[in-house]
Amino acid sequence: DTAVSQTPKYLVTQMGNDKSIKCEQNLGHDTMYWYKQDSKKFLKIMFSYNNKELIINETVPNRFSPKSPDKAHLNLHINSLELGDSAVYFCASSQAGLSQHFGDGTRLSIL
Amino acid sequence: GESVGLHLPTLSVQEGDNSIINCAYSNSASDYFIWYKQESGKGPQFIIDIRSNMDKRQGQRVTVLLNKTVKHLSLQIAATQPGDSAVYFCAENPLGSGNTGKLIFGQGTTLQVKP
């Protein structure tokens, strides 16, 4: 009964490829997020959706495109992957913007 | 600018001792703060939160203190156990975020518990 689940857990791919990461939450929350954690453990918000509407869009390259088909799902598609995209990507969810619950991350490695 | 920072990158304590992890924030108008624990290979896990209208909040073995005068946040862990070993992050809900849930995270303090 995982609350926030992400797939895949590991993603190894070549530079220039396009890949997607999926996220689902079963907590009934109205808001979902994508974060990026770099090699120094710094965690930075990328996007946030509330009831399928984009509400936070930080300075992220256009190659990153989130999609929320319903409020329980938030996917992240990345085009033309670059070496600098290597990181751990976390999905999170919350109700009314508080106490965000995180998934266990997707470790993206670009060769 | 917006930033949340921690005073020490690594804290090493003896099992059974109390731990204090510190955090300094820069946005004096922030009204909500959270502490997260991140174990190796896992996502951040919520520990405790506090609103700016409070200066102290207690949970099970944890206490968060907020000093708005000096923009300082601390997490106290009583009787530290090996299972407390992790990276701890403070996070701040900056001014103007409303209910978007935007959080600014600090860089993390690694807590090492010696048996």
Q: Does A26 touch chain B (CB under 8 A)?
A: no
Query: Which residue of A94, A98, A104 to mutate against B (max B Cβ within 10 Å)?
Result: A98
pLDDT, average across residues A39-62? 89
A39: pLDDT strictly greater than 70: yes
The mean pLDDT of chain B is 89
Of A23-32, A95-104, B55-64, the range with the lowest mean pLDDT is A95-104
What's the CATH code of the domain at B44?
2.60.40.10
**Structural domain tally of chain B?**
1
Residue B96 lies in domain: 4-114
Position B46 confidence tier, pLDDT thresholds 50, 70, 90: very high
Q: Does A56 touch chain B (CB under 8 A)?
A: yes
pLDDT score, position A72:
95
3-state helix, strand, coil in chain A (%, to 5): 5, 60, 35
- CA-nearest residue to A100 within chain B is B46
pLDDT, average across residues A13-37? 96
- CA-nearest residue to B48 within chain A is A99
Residue A30 lies in domain: 4-110
pLDDT score, position B93:
86
β pairing state of A106-110 and A10-13: parallel
What letter does residue A36 receive in the DSSP assignment? Answer: E
pLDDT score, position B2:
42
Element containing residue B50 per DSSP (H, E): strand B45-51
**Structural domain tally of chain A?**
1
Position A58 confidence tier, pLDDT thresholds 50, 70, 90: confident
What's the CATH code of the domain at A90?
2.60.40.10
B:85-114 residues touching chain A, CB 8 A cutoff: 87, 89, 93, 97-103, 105, 107-108
B84: pLDDT strictly greater than 60: yes
- CA-nearest residue to B41 within chain A is A104
pLDDT, average across residues A18-46? 95
> What SS3 class is residue A89?
strand
CB pair distance less than 8 Å for A96 and B49: no
